[in-house]
Structure 1
Amino acid sequence: MFIIFGTRGIKHTVSESPVLSNSCPNCNDGNLVNKLYRRWFTLFFIPVIPLDTVDRFYECDRCKSAYNESIKTVLQRSQEEISENQKRATSVYAKALVASMTHMSVVDGNFAPEEEREIMDAIEGFPEMKDELMAIHKNVKVNANKDNQVFDFLNSARSELSSEALINILAQAAVVLLADGAIEKEEETLMKEYLIACGLPKEMYQTLIDKLKQKDMTEIKKEQLN
């Protein structure tokens, strides 16, 4: 009788290792499952005794792409970078928003209670930054655009944010412009300067105003119906 023995590698799933959901860099949708190759002693081609671990890696359960275990660290770092970028963008957005709204409210020399309420509502939308935004608001309220501070905030926003985000900032500034029911010449000129600072055509000014007026009329009609 011949006894046939030898060794061969068998792939196993590491059950105690968490699956990295929807993380495959190749197909984007696949889950990365932690695997290991273990060498087994075989008898008559049947695995009998586990020997050493040859390799550990992650394998996509969809496209079967394989990655070194370091992929987990790379993916975690990427998520941290994404989170940090989002946090920075939110900060830049909020600062530019409050600075421009406050500047718009004081440019005509008449800081109306309606304008103050709009700015406070905007600040409340960023509770984690409230103290910092209140400081910006008070500074711009007293010093306006001293040392070009408001336009510095807008320039930072232009370099960090999308055009859509910039338009949202200016739309909010336009809400302040309309809050007291009248548009002064200084406010109109300033809004056009904001558009240019954000890399947007100043002709967009009238489009912004028309849309906001239309929105206000729609809300008034809804209130009347209710």
Structure 2
Amino acid sequence: MFIIFGTRGIKHTVNDSPVLSNSCPNCNDGNLVHKLYRRWFTLFFIPVIPLDVVDRFYQCDRCKSAYNENIKTVLQQSKQEIDENQKRAKQIFAKALVASMTHMSIIDGDFAKEEEREIMDVIEGFVEMREELMAIHEDVKVNANKDNRVFNYLSEARNVLSSEALINVLAQAAVVLLADGSIEEEEETLMKEYLIACGLPKEMYQTLIDKLKQKDMSKLKEGQLN
């Protein structure tokens, strides 16, 4: 008999923490609910034993935007300060995303056109930052992680963004892994290093890949039906 065990992260609501009513900076009306990511030991894919808490954050119950725990302090600041913090978080998110995606695409020595297209699509989504993001893209494409620049972007993101936002960065970076149809050993190793740099367990790697593959399969089925 085979015994299948492992670990996985599960999101929980912190029941003894008050809800921040009508406080979401993104949609304005949503309530911010205190959440945590806890790693669980699994047996036959069933969570059995709770392990360490990976991160705590607030998530809007309406638009699902996620915020670092310091959002409570931010909400006490002026609207101008809130807008500036949101703008800075968006910039940090975009820089970390483009840098990690570009680095991931060149790590195997073969920068495929499918990978380039994925990165260009992301850059076009940040119109006001397009020039700066293109410069980051070209720099990493040529110099890779020289002076630890890519991991510095991720480190800055870790200090500002919630784990939910960090997972979003890495999930989009993982799209590059699958863009050319195969995952090289160098790409897998690098993605695990990204997870660690973001303060997330490297065991989340397989979860990210499985979800992306499921998403791709769903798109394929929808295309066949249409």
TM-score interval w.r.t. the shorter chain? 0.5 to 0.7
1:152-184 CA-partner distances (Å, limit 9, x unpaired): 000000000000000000000100111000000
Q: Report the CA distance between 1:205 and its aligned residue.
A: 0.1
| Residue type of the alignment partner of 2:143 | N
Identity %: 79
Give the aligned partner of residue 170 of structure 1: 170
Kindly indicate whether residue 101 of structure 2 is the aligned counterpart of residue 101 of structure 1: yes
Supply the AA of the counterpart residue of 1:96.
Answer: A
Match of 2:187 in 1: 187
Following TM superposition, by how much is the alpha carbon of 1:220 offset from its aligned partner in structure 2, in angstroms?
0.4
Task: Measure the CA separation in 1 of the matches of 2:224 and 2:124.
Answer: 28
- Separation in 1 of the partners of 2:173 and 2:83? 27
CA–CA distance in structure 2, aligned partners of residues 152 and 177 of structure 1:
21
Q: Which residue of 1 aligns with 2:70?
A: none
**Aligned partners of 1:121, 1:164: CA distance in 2, in Å?**
21
1:33-182 pair list within 5 angstroms:
78-182=78-182
Q: Which amino acid aligns with 1:201?
A: P
Alpha-carbon distance between aligned partners in 1 of 2:208 and 2:137, rounded to the nearest angstrom: 23
Q: Give CA-to-partner distance per residue, 1:85-126, whole Å, 9 cap, x none.
A: 000000000000000000000000000000000000000110
Q: Is 1:215 matched up with 2:215?
A: yes
Alpha-carbon distance in 2 for matches of 1:141, 1:221: 34
Q: Determine which structure has greater relative contact order: mean sequence separation of CA pairs < 8 Å that are 6+ residues apart, divided by chain length.
A: 2
Aligned mates of 2:209, 2:219 — CA distance in 1:
15
Q: How big is the shift at 1:147?
A: 0.4
Q: CA RMSD in A?
A: 1.9
TM-score calculated relative to the size of structure 1: 0.66
Q: Which has the larger radius of gyration?
A: 1
C-alpha distance in 2, partners of 1:92/1:162?
12
Alpha-carbon deviation of 1:145?
Answer: 0.3
Instruction: Please give the alpha-carbon distance, in whole angstroms, between the structure 2 residues aligned to 1:158 and 1:124.
Output: 24
How far apart, CA to CA, are the structure 2 residues paired with 1:146 and 1:224?
44
Shift of 1:216: 0.1
Indicate the residue corresponding to 2:4 in structure 1.
none
2:199 is matched with 199
Distance 1:177 1:137 in 2: 17
Gaps of 5+ in 1: 1-21, 24-28, 30-74
> If the length of structure 2 is used for normalisation, what is the TM-score?
0.66
Cα distance in structure 2, aligned partners of 1:102 and 1:155: 17
Report runs of 4+ in structure 1 exceeding 2 Å deviation: none
Q: CA deviation at 1:189?
A: 0.1
Distance (whole Å) between structure 2 residues aligned to residue 125 and residue 197 of structure 1 = 25
Q: Distance in 1 between matches of 2:153 and 2:178?
A: 22
What CA distance in whole angstroms lies between the structure 2 residues aligned with 1:151 and 1:105?
A: 15
